[in-house]
Structure formats: C-alpha cells, structure tokens
Amino acid sequence: MKGTVLERLWARLVPDHQTGCLIWTGAQNGVGYGRMWADGYQLTHRVAYELMVGPIPPGLVIDHLCRVSLCANPAHLEAVTPAVNTQRGNVPAVMAARGAARTHCRSGHEYNAANTYIRPNAPGRDCRICIRERSARYKIRQLGREAS
C-alpha cells in the first residue's frame, strides 16, 4: 500500500462509535497489538501517538487508557513510565492485588469472615452466599433434566 505513514495508518483505522476507539484492522504482532511499516515495523498506537501528539519522551511507554490494545486514538493514549503502565494493566499480579482490595463480591455481598470462602488450591476467594445461590440453581436445573 502506497502513501504516507499517516495515510496508511488512517486507511486501516475503523471508529468504534460506542467507545470512541479507533481500531486498527491491519497486521498484528503476536500479543494483539497493531503493527505497521514505518521505517521498520512499529506498533500502530506508538505511530499514531508520535504523528498526532508528538515524540514519546525517553523512558516512557504508551498506555492505552481504554485498555483496548488495537486502539490508536491519540485521545486514548498516554505516555507513562513502565511502572505506571504495569500498575494500570491486566497483569495477573496487579489483578490479584485489585481483587484483594475489594470489599464486596460482584453481587454486592460483603467479604467478611463468615461470608468468604478461601480457595484451597487456587488463588482468590469466593462469596459463600453466591456459592449457595449457584448451587441451588444447579440443583434445580438437574432436577428439571431428570424429570424430562
């Protein structure tokens, strides 16, 4: 494909009107980030940032504020330190720390001594009320299958 780097970038971006992301539809690297040829293969979000915002300061990386790795919307990109990028990311250790900080389960039940089940063979915890509710729904489904 001929044209300037900016023209080639825009040719492969599709807007997501719900999120505001500009989704790269071209080639990807092995971990889900867009890549394109711009004086060598480069990540598309970095190319977009440098073309539309400016140079990436030394020692900084580009963080996707939207958490969408194929997004190249400069408004969704921020130059941050690698440490900040990791803290914001979906790295298992960070996710575990966020989970440990939660005081309530997804259904709104409080994690307390009586309501918290600590998994013996896996990291994490579960809400005992939710476990009982899931078990009851499962038993009802099984009884319905046996009756058929």
Residue 39 and residue 106 share a domain: no
Domain extent, residue 77, equals 5-88
Residue 70 falls inside a structural domain: yes
Residue 106 and residue 83 share a domain: no
**Tell me: the pLDDT tens digits for 93-142?**
666 666 777 888 888 999 999 999 988 887 778 999 999 999 999 999 99
Q: With a threshold of 0.75, does the pTM exceed it? A: no
Residue 23 falls inside a structural domain: yes
Residue of 61, 62, 58, 85 whose CA lies nearest to 74: 62
Residue 5 CA to residue 103 CA, distance in Å, equals 48
**Strand 116-118 relative to strand 61-64, pairing:** unpaired
Q: How confident is the model at residue 1 (pLDDT cuts 50, 70, 90)?
A: low
Residue 96 falls inside a structural domain: no
Domain count, the chain: 2
Residue 121 and residue 66 share a domain: no
Residue 11 and residue 67 share a domain: yes
